[in-house]
Amino acid sequence: MSVAAHIFRWVVLTVFTAITLVPLLWLLLSAFKTNTELFASPFGLPAHWSFNNFVNAWNAHPLYLYMRNSLGAAALSAAIIIVASLMASYALLHQFRLNRTTFGYLMFGILLPVNALMTPIFFIVVFLNLYNSVVGLSLVYAGLFFPLGFLVIKTYMDTTPEAILEAARLDGAGFHDIFFRIIVPLTAPGAVTAGIFLFITAFNELLFASILTTDTDAQTMQVGVRYFLTTYAANYPLAFAATVIGIAPTVVVYILLSDRIVEAMTAGSIK
């Protein structure tokens, strides 16, 4: 690699890192300021470092309840998608007449605009009496984000050596035995990676959480943060503190398990 190419690469990485981290750092610093200080010096350091905003934000609204709902909806939807994706990916390992058509149909959801699904999903959820329900929200997330989980898991499952499957068949292993004893253990890293992506995506979702929940008992963290910004009053530091609390779980999950993500996303390239 030439010197110019090396410099260009580092410039691009530096710019991308700044674009990603600067807003996050500004949000974190603003969470320690007062409203007056925020408008007087929006890009300066806080005059007094205190966790009062975080404590007040936690006590002002039932953030613990919003957090529980977000975690529950994200975890349940991710579990549903992982199970469904494992079974669908295993079925597509076997060649049959409509194999490619089925794959295209399952991936078609990635191309659909989410806004086009708002009205039908709303009426379906209401009809099933799942409105204002964490379970109903989880099922919606499972349907919306299934193509993402399916893509990650199928990409990883396709790297399973055919020789292992043939040896299992010769030893008398049946269709279900191969799935539970070979496919699932070998695809576990891909399933974990899909679970991380799905958990983060569902945890941060706002549109359907706003549409399908109006009761505090069912609303998520992303919806709860909006209560700090009303028509007649806006306490931005408290809102920023609540936002930091809300994004903390996904940031921690990503940092702890980022190596799993890299492993699964590069699996298809080293098959």
Task: Report pLDDT for 44.
Answer: 84
DSSP codes joined into one string, 6-38: HHHHHHHHHHHHHHHHHHHHHHHHHTTS-HHHH
Under-70 pLDDT residues of the chain? 1, 95, 231-233, 258-271
The model's pLDDT over 143-160, given as tens digits with 9 standing for 90+, comes to: 999 998 998 898 888 888
Task: Report pLDDT for 265.
Answer: 55
- The C-alpha atoms of residue 189 and residue 265 are separated, in whole angstroms, by 10
Q: Among 138, 159, 171, which residue's Cα sits nearest to residue 71? A: 138
Q: Among 162, 202, 165, 203, which residue's Cα sits nearest to residue 181? A: 165
Is the CATH number of domain 56-270 1.10.3720.10? Answer: yes
Tokens of 126: 């209401």
Task: Report pLDDT for 219.
Answer: 92
Task: Report pLDDT for 268.
Answer: 47
Task: Report pLDDT for 135.
Answer: 94
DSSP codes joined into one string, 115-145: GGGHHHHHHHHHHTT-TT-HHHHHHHHHHHH
Alpha helix (H) ranges present in the chain?
A: 3-30, 35-40, 52-60, 63-93, 99-107, 118-127, 134-157, 162-170, 175-178, 184-203, 207-212, 221-224, 236-265
Residue 229, phi then psi, degrees to nearest 5: -120, 95
Task: Report pLDDT for 269.
Answer: 46
- The C-alpha atoms of residue 233 and residue 223 are separated, in whole angstroms, by 17
Asked whether 53 and 237 are in contact (CB, 8 A), the reply is yes
Task: Please tell me the pTM assigned to this model.
Answer: 0.83
Beta bridge partners of 234: 229
